[in-house]
Amino acid sequence: IEPFFLRIFLYDCRAGHRLSEEFRIDPNSDDLTAMLKIGGKNGIGKNLAEKSTLEEDGVNTLSQQILANKNVRKVMYSISKPHPDIYLIVRVDRLLSIDTSAEVYMKNDLKGVAKLQKIIQQTYSKATQDRMPFAWAARPVFQEMSGCGTKLSNKMQLYRCEGNKLGDGDLQKILVDFGRIEKSGKLTQLPAATVTMNIDFSPKASELSMRINSSFMPVRPWNAASDSLGSACFEAQSFNDFVVEPHTSFFNLLYVYPLTLKYDSQKSFNKARNIVCTVRFISASRKEDMSQVIYNRFGSPKPFVHSMRCSVQYHEQNPVFSDEVFLATN
């Protein structure tokens, strides 16, 4: 019916912080993706621009085509200290529209589906195509490995995002007692809505033929066939989980996390709504105003862009953001 966009990362609810950067997945069909490109900003001539730009050399001998390939859905996490309180988090975004409550997904209503399709068609025509939080899911990663329970299903139940309770602090409060809260009914389930994540605990990383680390460096052995772009695997950057081995790695990466905005007390725009937070990287040492160092794998016509917009919370004057903006600085 409509396109969705996934963001996944690891979260340690015992320590209260993320263990990895986000990895974005585009699960949409080619038809839905084509509709987004046609309706989006600068849609005219975009296909030609994409082809010419993506064929150029990218970063560290990796082509733009590999870095911008939406079919890549494999990510590798390195965890040095596994324990049962590490969760895989999936956040689902949808296009910003007037259908904010997503009630059509809560009940079987054919008329509601037809109405939603009309709303989505109108959303396609907008230039910005902002996104809004829709649902989320979580499951412990190492529970069965620690002997704390039976093997969990790869299918994860989706829960509806409620209000502005989207920050990592709110996430920790839920995950600390996730089993009890889930059974108590305090979380609103989306009926018959799940997301499937295949988790492999194999330590044989060298068997992956096309690994790309967080600094966009190809990892040896690099055995890439010309027709195997979809088999690439990104290594997610680890946070706060390093093995103490000096002089082994150097990272020059910047992650920006907009947190909150309190806007209800100002008087200039007393009816402000649909507030957008935009992150830009401006270099004072260069002549151009903005540098294209923000990585967005689904950006167009190439994955490095000037700016990135956070998801919008409909009619919320005190929004809490949950987005990650990744800058590959030199």
Note the pLDDT of residue 22: 96
Identify whether the C-beta of residue 187 lies closer than 8 Å to the C-beta of residue 181. Answer: yes
Note the pLDDT of residue 329: 72
Mean pLDDT of 68-95: 90
Model confidence over 7-39: pLDDT tens digits? 999 999 999 999 999 999 999 888 887 777 655
Identify whether the C-beta of residue 217 lies closer than 8 Å to the C-beta of residue 60. Answer: yes
Confidence of residue 194 (pLDDT cuts 50, 70, 90): very high
Q: Which residues pair with 196 in a beta bridge?
A: 155
Block residue for tokens 């990287």? 281
Q: CB atoms < 10 A from the CB of 21, how many?
A: 20
Q: Supply the pTM of this predicted model.
A: 0.86
Predicted confidence (pLDDT) at residue 235 exceeds the cutoff of 80:
yes
* Half-sphere exposure for 81 (CA within 13 Å, toward CB): 12
- First-to-last C-alpha distance (Å) of the chain: 41
- What is the dihedral sign for C-alpha 76, 157, 277, 128? positive
Identify whether the C-beta of residue 196 lies closer than 8 Å to the C-beta of residue 152. Answer: no
Predicted confidence (pLDDT) at residue 42 exceeds the cutoff of 50:
no
What six digits make up the tokens of 329?
């600085």
